[in-house]
Amino acid sequence: MGESGLTSEQIAFQKHARGWLEENAPPPPPIRLPLMAIEVMHEAQRDYLQSWQRRCYEAELVGTDVPREYGGWGREGCQRIANQEMSRAGTPFMINIVGLTMAVPTILVHGTESQKKLLIPGALTGEEIWCQGFSEPGAGSDMANQQTSAIRQGEDWLVNGHKVWTSLGHFAKWMILITRTSKEHKYDGLTYFVCPIEGHPGVSVRPLIKITGETGFNEVLFEDVIVPDSLRLDEVGKGWTVAMTTLTYERGAAEGAGGGGQGGDPTQRLIALARESWRDGVRASDDPVTRDALVQQAIVYEGIRMNMRRAKVPALNDHPMRLPLQSKLTGSEASQNAARLGVEIAGVHSTLYKKDPKAPEAGHWPLAYLNSYGGTIAAGTNEIQRNILGERVLGLPKSK
Amino acid sequence: MGESGLTSEQIAFQKHARGWLEENAPPPPPIRLPLMAIEVMHEAQRDYLQSWQRRCYEAELVGTDVPREYGGWGREGCQRIANQEMSRAGTPFMINIVGLTMAVPTILVHGTESQKKLLIPGALTGEEIWCQGFSEPGAGSDMANQQTSAIRQGEDWLVNGHKVWTSLGHFAKWMILITRTSKEHKYDGLTYFVCPIEGHPGVSVRPLIKITGETGFNEVLFEDVIVPDSLRLDEVGKGWTVAMTTLTYERGAAEGAGGGGQGGDPTQRLIALARESWRDGVRASDDPVTRDALVQQAIVYEGIRMNMRRAKVPALNDHPMRLPLQSKLTGSEASQNAARLGVEIAGVHSTLYKKDPKAPEAGHWPLAYLNSYGGTIAAGTNEIQRNILGERVLGLPKSK
Amino acid sequence: MNQPSPVPRNFGFGSEEEMLRDLARQFLDENMPVEKLRGLAAPDPEPIYDDGQLPGWDQQVWNQVIELGWPGLAVPEHLGGSDFSLVGIVGLVEEVGRHALPSPLISTLNASWVLRSAQTKEADPFLQSLASGTPASLAMTGSRGGVEPGEVDVEARSTPAGVCLDGVSFFVQDASKCELFLVFARQGEGLKLCVVPREAAGLRIEQDQIHDVTRDQATLYFEGVEVNSASVVSDSGLATLQRAWPGLLCLVSADLCGTSEWQLQTTVEYAKNRKQFERPIGFFQAVKHPLVDAMIEIDRARSLLYHAASLVDADHPDAELSARMAKSAASDAGAYISDRSVQLHGGIGFTWECDLHIFFKRSLHNQALYGDGVHQRRRLADFLVGPIDR
Amino acid sequence: MNQPSPVPRNFGFGSEEEMLRDLARQFLDENMPVEKLRGLAAPDPEPIYDDGQLPGWDQQVWNQVIELGWPGLAVPEHLGGSDFSLVGIVGLVEEVGRHALPSPLISTLNASWVLRSAQTKEADPFLQSLASGTPASLAMTGSRGGVEPGEVDVEARSTPAGVCLDGVSFFVQDASKCELFLVFARQGEGLKLCVVPREAAGLRIEQDQIHDVTRDQATLYFEGVEVNSASVVSDSGLATLQRAWPGLLCLVSADLCGTSEWQLQTTVEYAKNRKQFERPIGFFQAVKHPLVDAMIEIDRARSLLYHAASLVDADHPDAELSARMAKSAASDAGAYISDRSVQLHGGIGFTWECDLHIFFKRSLHNQALYGDGVHQRRRLADFLVGPIDR
């Protein structure tokens, strides 16, 4: 499908990206890859994905719009195109998703010059993997209720506390970390740091096991951890504001520094499954009720794609955040419903775990379904997302 | 289907009821009857239904379990059977639904001996039609927020205020009325009366028009209306408690004094509609997606019937109110969804109003759909019903 | 067929389209505020529902609409129109839906869209006529209420001068306001597309009694209606209608998106102001979350709609697929917000005096028109999954 | 066939049934509290999911269950059983589901139900054996995972001594715990029902790798398995299975109702205690209302279930219809509360250490077993609407 509305630089870049991806599709992975970067468990997966990210970086598909002085490629409006082309090519996702879509954009807004130079290049190449320290066992959806404390000690801060839900923590060099520096103010008592993780004294990372039985997310304990003041982002007490920048990117309201690749519309895959699944002697793909469900799914995904496109047309957006703030909610529920449909189509075959050779598509659907709750719970449960949309976009009174 | 668990008196009564109904099916109505008593608009409808109620009363199918000294028939556990047989026979509903299912049970619990003798007989025969004065324009779902005032003046009360949503008000002889007798206490400041309506000085009944364009419910204005203290039910300040008794009956948690008849499971009617409706050259009854929806509907209605049956088996009810408190919610949503499905099956034919001769089933489905919001809004919106269930049955904290 | 032109990422919704839409919004805000609509279309139900009178509409506004050139938006410039993109027209129709405007505008736009799709020189004079303000409507539906091209109950037989029509056409939108009817009539295996004026001999127009008070609908009885050959604008009516279909689906979807957005915003305002239990009801998640879900459904429908319209503009082969997705999403969004708007208003939402019912009924009508969600998805499954193997 | 007996309004759930249910509840509360279940079935995922070990279960509890006589509940008294009503058994199985008991009890009850439905004297010794505690399971499903009687991939051919079986049987529940398999095998147009011991020559049992940690499942490969004629318990296996089907659907629905009620109550408790924004989360309607909706769905399923079981007990012709309604409702209720239980627990609900996943997976397994809601409704439509006219 042809496209216009692009600058000549963007058109040239799109051509480059498409061509490069066609010629440089990565070799098949050594072991099954998970659906999303935050589910990466094993070192073999990490190594494979890290090397793919580096190649994409070198091809200028990552960090595309980041200024050159911080290791990027200094283009304008091209990251979106790169992401799109990677998605189109069906190549693997970027493992450093937290770095690219959260840390880098946040540091670009709130960081000092030296922080930018220190932190961004390694995030772009994928050499330094990032994780996120926003969730605590007691806080849940109430993100401002952070208990991890940071106490000033001269030029350093002493950090104590407990973070959970830390995807990629076991591979991470850095964490974006919210701490409480004052107990007097709920929101204004928060301060935002970047904190070294791997090998840093006092930091311990323990894998948490998901309902699938897989690892991939962690709890991180801080016991008298020293963080130099030079790693503080923005002012003391401004942590909430900085976190909002991060979440704007995480919730899909803005383009990060990269992160494209697989994980898109599962419609074709579901249709293929339906062709191989049987009901009363008929293929599920010939059962009209299943067909209706498949098409509903397809419409939701097409709607998500077209929302992304429409969000870029100011004349068709009365409220600038109305579409962007929907994307975490609609994306995570679309994935969940699609996976659930896959489970239903597979029928009794969905009882099988991925290790069973009889499991359709190597056990993809039930695992995807179970894992989908990561998406509907993490980064503000979808209940909270609905509050946010109702309050910030529709202007309804706060529910809390 | 045979049934046991009935006493011999009940078995004999069931036989009587079934036999009488078979022999005494009423003549066809002179004009189209609405779906429910609360939608009765015209005098011709009223007259027809009133005479049917009197015949059923005389056949002992109404007031069956009410003591003989108050005009009833003094049986035990037979009203349910009568209702069931009327429903089975598909005979018309009882017009005095408010009298039979709300006023009579409430008066039996809270009334004095003379109140019972004054008020119950006319309600049972249908001669004296009742309406309900619980809703006010400012109160909505917050029923305790009543503003209609009653001020003591010697042996009388002076009532001023404004009630809305008063079905049958234009035919009513009596109203069950909640008033505010003290502003100091929200709940304990309410007092419950029965109030004469028809021809009573200071009372004016004005029809409200529904979204269908039909009348059938009213607003009732009270301007310096005198109500004798002898018409107060229970103590001053106990109005909330009395109202809860009424609502327990209204919400279906208990058997009233009658009210059986049509208004049950629309499955067969929907199937018949589907057989006459077309989609892409195929009957809707042969379209598997429609069939799935029809069966979902049938399951919901069968579930409602079986809930009613299970509610009577203490061993299968850990919480005594768990099933009874569901019935208003499930019943009103089942009707709404069934009507909506009828609209969808009829397709573009559902654009037609009942006066159009091309309208399928005399325009039943779109009218039923529009009217169904009466059921999901009145007597505590279904949102409030969900609060009640969550709080009283599941023990969750109050949402208000 | 034209070659598909490139599809712009902004759907081709540029400054002209924005200007047209903003103008429409302003014009309709001024000339059809909801208070006026209520007075026109829904004063007292009795005359409409009991006595069979047609609901009111404003002929003056229609004359202004003609002056603004809206009936000719889809007509080529050399025939007096402005040859606007469908994306732009859709933007305007959303505003029409948002104001529930009673008028023959949409039926006329539909008719012009079909005439244009005929791709014959016989269509030109009629396109010209429509652009100059002659209101017209499509007569294309059989007694079964078929929601796809070709289910017609009118027969054409050849005469020396042209054709002669017999039969019945159902569900003709806004017929009482229209002067021309585009009639599809079967002849052998094919469909003829004929233009028939309302005063044609042998044509009897019987108004339907409908719920929607912002339009009218009629059944057309043809008893030996003579059509001269200049008025037979196409001999391949089925192909014409199939070409036109994605555009028609976009137009009705746009109307649905417009009514839905009005219902959403009106209910949001109510939820901010109405208090229960000492709080505005919008505080309660049982009110807030359904409104958010409605917003999400409406946005999905709108995004799919603009995409579909841009594919129609580009003559893209996926236009039908895309338009069916839009209609499915718009019908379902319309059903959901209609339902929640009444429910969340509570008692007042159930009354005639509240404006909700006007939009509710217009939406309900449009949900069914040209096929509801289930229907569109049945067709989409054939595209996406392939035909059923029996 | 027996004459249908009258259907009692209390479903026949009398004092004996209540006693059995209360006993089961007490026994399982004591012997399979969730802490113990967690330790047995879900200690550490690696051995189960990575190394293919079977999840644990308590043989001691099973021995006690045998002593309590539960495996013989459906077996006639003269064969050592207690000939209990299905309504009573269903009450017990609800408790089994509520405790997610890992054991061969349900597979054995299913097997006894099928043997009973064979109505042959050859079935008697095996019924006796089951009643005395020999665990058994049904082998009746083909490679396509067919969810209706008769889709089998095992062939029987006659031998002088009986039959010889070749082929594969899939999705055999709790096979690792069972000593006897009731194998359905095709011979010509008919189905034979054969009883095959696990140690039979030529039978290879390959354990499936499954999600559910409260049961196991296997594929049975038959390579020339000889069955003597005393073990061919029915020559009309299809009729047997069809007679048994409503009962099997009731048993799996009961398990689903039990897990669902546990999920509901556990989530309600969590919602009362977990605080967010300075309030227990159960204050919020986004938590409260879905739990109410789940309760309504569970109650619908339970009421339909007891009704269906009472019709089975009465040999009523509507038993199949009713049982399919129950399975549809129970599957959908199970899906809904499983979903909400995890979601409303938030982060902790997504972890292995929280017990929810144990019930989630058991429920998911049972939702699919013998056909999910969509499947049951497809069959129900044939009863209620009539067959599709093509």
The CA distance from B238 to the nearest CA of chain A, in Å, is 33
Q: Are C139 and C154 in contact (CB under 8 A)?
A: yes
**pLDDT value at residue A259:** 54
* pLDDT 10s digits, A306-365: 999 999 999 999 999 999 999 999 999 999 999 999 999 999 999 999 989 999 998 999
Chains with ≥3 CB–CB distances under 8 Å to D: A, B, C
Q: In this complex, is the C-beta atom of A321 within 8 Å of any C-beta atom belonging to chain C?
A: no
Residues 6+ apart with CB under 8 A from A332: A372, A375, A376, A382
**pLDDT value at residue C5:** 65
CA distance C347 to B139: 10
Q: Which whole number is the average pLDDT over B256-276?
A: 76
Which residue in C224, C133, C244, C119 sits closest to C180, CA to CA? C133
Question: Would you state the CATH architecture of domain C238-385?
Answer: Up-down Bundle (1.20)
CA distance D49 to C111: 63
pLDDT at D158 over 70: yes
Report strand pairing: C180-187 vs C190-197: antiparallel
Supply the ipTM of this predicted assembly.
0.92
Local confidence band at D5 (pLDDT 50, 70, 90 cut-offs): low
Chains with ≥3 CB–CB distances under 8 Å to B: A, C, D
pLDDT at B253 over 60: no
Question: Would you state the CATH architecture of domain A131-250?
Answer: Beta Barrel (2.40)
CA distance B340 to B347: 11
**B371 → chain C, closest CA residue:** C350
State the best of A279, A286, A287, A289 to mutate against chain B, taking most chain B CBs within 10 Å. Answer: A289
B287 vs A292: CB contact, 8 Å cut-off?
Answer: no
CA distance C261 to C363: 11
Average pLDDT, chain C: 96
Residues of chain B neighbouring C147 (CB-CB closer than 8 A): 279-280, 347-348
The CA distance from A293 to the nearest CA of chain B, in Å, is 10
CA distance C361 to D58: 62
**pLDDT value at residue A216:** 78
**pLDDT value at residue C3:** 52
CA distance D145 to A359: 12
The residue whose two tokens read 């049970």 is B105
Question: Would you state the CATH architecture of domain A8-127?
Answer: Orthogonal Bundle (1.10)
Q: In this complex, is the C-beta atom of D284 within 8 Å of any C-beta atom belonging to chain A?
A: yes
**pLDDT value at residue A251:** 58
In chain D, where does the domain assigned CATH 2.40.110.10 lie?
A: 137-235
CA distance B284 to A231: 67
Phi, psi (deg, nearest 5) at residue C287: -100, -45
Q: In this complex, is the C-beta atom of A306 within 8 Å of any C-beta atom belonging to chain C?
A: yes
CA distance C368 to C372: 5
DSSP characters over D229-277: GGGEEES-HHHHHHHHHHHHHHHHHHHHHHHHHHHHHHHHHHHHH-EET
Average pLDDT, chain D: 96
CA distance B343 to B351: 9
Q: Which whole number is the average pLDDT over B260-289?
A: 86
pLDDT at C1 over 70: no
Q: Which of these CATH numbers, 3.65.10.10, 3.40.47.10, 2.40.110.10, 3.10.180.10, describes D137-235? A: 2.40.110.10
Q: Are D171 and A351 in contact (CB under 8 A)?
A: yes
Q: Which whole number is the average pLDDT over D186-193?
A: 94
Chains with ≥3 CB–CB distances under 8 Å to A: B, C, D
**pLDDT value at residue C78:** 97
In chain B, where does the domain assigned CATH 1.10.540.10 lie?
A: 8-127
CA distance D267 to D139: 36
Phi, psi (deg, nearest 5) at residue A297: -55, -50
pLDDT at B317 over 60: yes
**pLDDT value at residue A35:** 67
* pLDDT 10s digits, C211-246: 999 999 999 999 999 999 999 999 999 999 999 999
CA distance C33 to C30: 6
Q: In this complex, is the C-beta atom of C78 within 8 Å of any C-beta atom belonging to chain A?
A: no
pLDDT at D297 over 90: yes
Orientation of helix A288-310 relative to helix C285-313, angle to 10°: 80
D347 vs A348: CB contact, 8 Å cut-off?
Answer: no
Residues 6+ apart with CB under 8 A from A199: none
Q: Which whole number is the average pLDDT over C62-90?
A: 98
How far CA B241 is from CA of B192, B235, D118, D338, in Å, comes to 9, 10, 59, 38
B141 vs C346: CB contact, 8 Å cut-off?
Answer: yes
Q: In this complex, is the C-beta atom of A289 within 8 Å of any C-beta atom belonging to chain B?
A: yes
Residues of chain B neighbouring C347 (CB-CB closer than 8 A): 135, 137, 140, 164-165, 377-378
The CA distance from A306 to the nearest CA of chain C, in Å, is 5
* pLDDT 10s digits, C281-297: 999 999 999 999 999 99
* pLDDT 10s digits, D340-351: 999 999 989 999
B135 vs C49: CB contact, 8 Å cut-off?
Answer: no
pLDDT at D199 over 50: yes
In a 13 Å sphere around the CA of D144, the CA atoms on its Cβ side amount to: 19
Local confidence band at D2 (pLDDT 50, 70, 90 cut-offs): very low
Percent of chain D with pLDDT over 90: 93
In chain B, where does the domain assigned CATH 1.20.140.10 lie?
A: 267-393
**pLDDT value at residue B245:** 86
For D347, the closest of A135, A355, A366 (CB atoms) is A135
A211 vs D350: CB contact, 8 Å cut-off?
Answer: yes
**pLDDT value at residue B7:** 85
Q: Are D292 and B386 in contact (CB under 8 A)?
A: yes
pLDDT at B261 over 70: no
Beta-carbon contacts below 8 Å between A and D: 136
State pTM to two decimals.
Answer: 0.91
* pLDDT 10s digits, C83-138: 999 999 999 999 999 999 999 999 999 999 999 999 999 999 999 999 999 999 99
pLDDT at B35 over 80: no
Orientation of helix D105-118 relative to helix D237-273, angle to 10°: 150
Least confident of A258-267, B312-321, C373-382: A258-267
Residues A124, A130, A135, CA angle at the centre, nearest 5°? 145
Orientation of helix C373-384 relative to helix C319-345, angle to 10°: 150
**B331 → chain D, closest CA residue:** D296
Stretches where chain A sits below pLDDT 70 are 1-5, 35, 139-141, 250-264, 400
The CATH code belonging to domain A267-393 is 1.20.140.10
In chain C, where does the domain assigned CATH 1.10.540.10 lie?
A: 9-135
Residues of chain D neighbouring C390 (CB-CB closer than 8 A): 390
With H, G, I as helix, E, B as strand and everything else as coil, classify residue C150. coil
Residues of chain D neighbouring A383 (CB-CB closer than 8 A): 284, 286-287
In a 13 Å sphere around the CA of A212, the CA atoms on its Cβ side amount to: 23
C325 vs A299: CB contact, 8 Å cut-off?
Answer: yes
The CA distance from D280 to the nearest CA of chain C, in Å, is 15
Question: Would you state the CATH architecture of domain D9-135?
Answer: Orthogonal Bundle (1.10)
The CA distance from C92 to the nearest CA of chain A, in Å, is 12
Q: In this complex, is the C-beta atom of A292 within 8 Å of any C-beta atom belonging to chain B?
A: yes
D286 vs C285: CB contact, 8 Å cut-off?
Answer: yes
Q: In this complex, is the C-beta atom of D343 within 8 Å of any C-beta atom belonging to chain A?
A: yes
For residue D317 the two structure tokens come to 């012709």
Catalytic annotation, pick one of A250, A302, A344, A383: A250
The residue whose two tokens read 């008849």 is B261
Q: Which whole number is the average pLDDT over D287-298?
A: 98
D385 vs B271: CB contact, 8 Å cut-off?
Answer: yes
Percent of chain D with pLDDT over 70: 98
The CA distance from A171 to the nearest CA of chain C, in Å, is 37
Residue type, D229: S
Local confidence band at D101 (pLDDT 50, 70, 90 cut-offs): very high
